[in-house]
């Protein structure tokens, strides 16, 4: 059974999954606590929280374009991936030294900078280490392993809170699994056997220019941008849970529940995308997201919050692996680092306005407005992805006729 489950997955993919598992244990021990630490300990406002998360995610994500491009230029993925995981690991213990929200912003920026550095090179390495027939499965496995870490991390945080550990002590403990992840990648991950560039492709052809990307991929980036502008940081879901009356000790457990569903769905959703296509899976994810955000807008009790958190995990499981595999499909297999760099950067760059808008909406119109806005942008993105292939086909037909 185990052999069939892992069939088609290389040792690199499995090792990278374990690296992400330990890294996410570390990150997710901290992530659900940061907005609470900011508001209750440091006295930050909701707009401060949104600004911190938006700047951290958005600014750092710009670097994923450069790191992906650099991995194409160097024809090496591992050194850049190691550097990214290393920077993120070092950022964790620095949180223990913070006493103001701008200092938290610096540590969050370093953590997300590390993610921005590693993500495109790592995703390209996954593609190059995989059988093309099982690309959805490879990304599904990686996402499932990553998300199991996101289950264990908040669970550990809840246990430590129950044992009367403070925020700063938990931040320090979180450094240990992050360090294990760095050691694993150093020891067990290798460069892909083949060269990152296709035969005959010149390194000089790799450019940091969106017009270099093919038309279907650029259209996909537009869809991603529309969706991302309404997909604010998950800290607003955490704050919504607190707003509804979920006790502090239970909030990390909500995150556990979300990530447990996420982990259980990611792998089979990735495999399903190999069989039925990527777009139906991504479209299903967008609809689930819209339904869930509409629920968050009108949630009124803790029981409803549990149901919505499970649905949110379902959306993440449907979307993540299929979305990345679709990006790899559209790239045509050349200069994967650069393509994944643009993919991740678009998502990250729009995280800044999305989170700032969410903070402003919350303060001006209340919590419900944040999630109504996210519901509308998700439905627009759904419509765009639904019609994009037909529009592109007509455009290409006209170009050929000319």
pLDDT digits (tens, 9 = 90+) for 85-131: 999 999 999 989 998 888 998 898 899 889 889 988 999 899 888 87
- Contact between residue 351 and residue 54 where contact means Cβ atoms under 8 Å apart: yes
Statement: residue 396 has pLDDT above 60:
no
Q: Quickly name the fold that domain 12-191+213-401 has.
A: Growth Hormone; Chain: A; (1.20.1250)
Cα–Cα distance, 239 to 243 (Å, whole number): 6
Question: Looking at residues 29-53, what average pLDDT do you find?
Answer: 82
In 3-state terms the chain splits into helix, strand, coil percentages (rounded to 5) of 85, 0, 15
Summary mean pLDDT of the chain? 85
Give the pLDDT band of residue 202 (cuts 50, 70, 90): very low
Query: Dihedral sign, CA of 45, 51, 54, 55?
Result: negative
> Residue 210 has what pLDDT?
67
pLDDT band at 199 (very low <50, low <70, confident <90, very high): very low
Whether 263 has a pLDDT exceeding 70, the answer reads: yes
Closest residue by Cα to residue 328 from 73, 189, 141, 129: 129
- pLDDT bin (cut points 50, 70, 90) of residue 25 is very high
User: Is the Cβ–Cβ distance between 373 and 361 less than 8 Å?
Assistant: yes
CB 185 within 8 A of CB 82: yes
As a whole number, mean pLDDT of residues 262-285 equals 90
Cα atoms in the 13 Å half-sphere on the side-chain side of 385: 25
DSSP 319-370: HHHHHHHHHHHHHTTSSHHHHHHHHHHHHHHTHHHHHHHHHHHHHHH-HHHH
Q: Write b or e for each residue in 100-138: b if 16 or more Cβ atoms lie within 10 A of its Cβ, otherwise e.
A: ebeebbbbbbbbbbbbbbbbbbbbbbbbbbbeeebbbbb
pLDDT the model gives residue 200: 43
Cα separation of 321 and 315, whole Å?
11
The pTM (predicted TM-score) of the whole model is 0.77
Please say if the pLDDT value at position 192 is more than 80. no
What whole-number distance in Å separates Cα of residue 124 and Cα of residue 346? 17
Asked if the model's pLDDT at residue 197 lies above 50, the reply is no
């Amino acid at each position: 059974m185990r052999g069939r489950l892992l069939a088609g997955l290389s040792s690199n993919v499995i090792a990278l999954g374990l690296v992400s598992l330990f890294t996410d244990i570390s990150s997710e021990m901290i992530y659900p606590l940061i907005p609470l630490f900011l508001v209750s300990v440091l006295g930050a406002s909701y707009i401060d929280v949104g600004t911190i998360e938006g700047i951290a995610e958005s600014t750092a994500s710009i670097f994923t374009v450069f790191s992906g491009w650099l991995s194409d230029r160097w024809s090496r993925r591992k050194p850049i991936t190691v550097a990214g995981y290393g920077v993120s690991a070092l950022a964790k213990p620095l949180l223990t030294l913070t006493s103001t929200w701008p200092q938290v912003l610096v540590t969050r920026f370093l953590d997300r900078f590390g993610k921005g550095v590693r993500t495109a090179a790592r995703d390209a390495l996954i593609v190059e280490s995989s059988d093309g027939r099982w690309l959805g499965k490879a990304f599904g496995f990686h996402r499932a392993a990553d998300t199991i870490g996101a289950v264990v991390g908040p669970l550990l945080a809840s246990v430590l809170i129950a044992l009367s550990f403070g925020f700063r002590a938990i931040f320090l403990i979180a450094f240990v699994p992050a360090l294990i992840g760095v050691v694993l990648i150093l020891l067990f991950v290798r460069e892909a056997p083949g060269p990152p560039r296709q035969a005959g492709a010149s390194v000089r052809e790799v450019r940091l220019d969106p017009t270099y990307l093919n038309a279907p991929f650029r259209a996909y980036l537009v869809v991603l941008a529309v969706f991302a502008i309404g997909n604010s940081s998950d800290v607003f879901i955490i704050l919504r849970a607190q707003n509804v009356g979920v006790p502090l000790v239970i909030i990390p457990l909500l995150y556990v529940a979300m990530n447990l569903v996420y982990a259980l769905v990611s792998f089979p959703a990735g495999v399903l995308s190999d069989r039925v296509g990527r777009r139906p899976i991504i479209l299903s994810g967008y609809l689930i997201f819209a339904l869930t955000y509409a629920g968050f807008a009108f949630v009124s009790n803790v029981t409803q919050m549990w149901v919505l958190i499970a649905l949110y995990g379902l959306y993440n499981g449907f979307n993540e692996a299929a979305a990345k595999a679709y990006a790899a499909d559209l790239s045509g297999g050349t200069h994967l680092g650069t393509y994944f760099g643009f993919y991740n950067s678009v998502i990250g760059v729009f995280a800044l306005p999305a989170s700032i808008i969410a903070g402003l909406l919350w303060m001006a119109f209340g919590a419900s407005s944040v999630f109504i806005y996210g519901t509308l942008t998700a439905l627009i993105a759904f419509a765009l992805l639904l019609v994009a292939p037909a529009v592109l086909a007509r455009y290409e037909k006209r170009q050929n006729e000319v």
